[in-house]
Structure 1
Amino acid sequence: MDKSARKEPFPGAYYAGLFITLALLLLMIVIASALPPGPAGAFFAFVLGLTVNPKYAPWFALVGLLGAVLGFAGDEPMVAWGGAALVVSQALVYLWHRKGS
């Protein structure tokens, strides 16, 4: 076995992480399904945007800005508010990473 390979913190840790991730995703789906399209798009984009690598945050913010502009121009509330929330989440990711550096 390769010595550089990492061992699990405890047996089944990766399976536990998988189940926790899936449970949180299902919870997000349940919460967003009860919301109108605009807030649902914003909720998903914001929460998932918080998971972006800080190195790519400026690019995701640019994509969010483009999505917001096109969404508002095309009367698509889910896209518009999702783009706006993505910009906000990327600003938080960037600021949090900068504060920690």
Structure 2
Amino acid sequence: MYSPKELGLKVKRAREHRAKRSGQNFTQKMLAFKIGETSKWVEKLEKGQFYPDWDALNLIADTCGVSIEFITGEKFEEEVDYEEAVRGGQIARRISQQELFL
């Protein structure tokens, strides 16, 4: 799981990805409107000041046309997995059995 700063940068890149794909500017204000938040909320998120909740993250990914994996750096099977990672209850990635013996 990325730090809040890294996550914020990924959200910004996702927003830029949408702009590039559409050929039109896609501002923080536009993203905020699409996901039902304020532009200040998006600004703080992109600055890495907090982790958003799972639903907001999904809306951002859908709106920008990227995967949750792109934004978080991990594949979360369920919302609870993300919530645990945000609280620090989960390691950044799982080590496979093969990697243990290398």
TM-score, normalised via structure 1 length: 0.27
- Largest Rg, 1 or 2: 1
Structure with bigger helix share is 1
TM-score of the superposed pair, with normalisation by structure 2: 0.27
**Greater relative CO, 1 or 2 (CA 8 Å, sep 6+):** 2
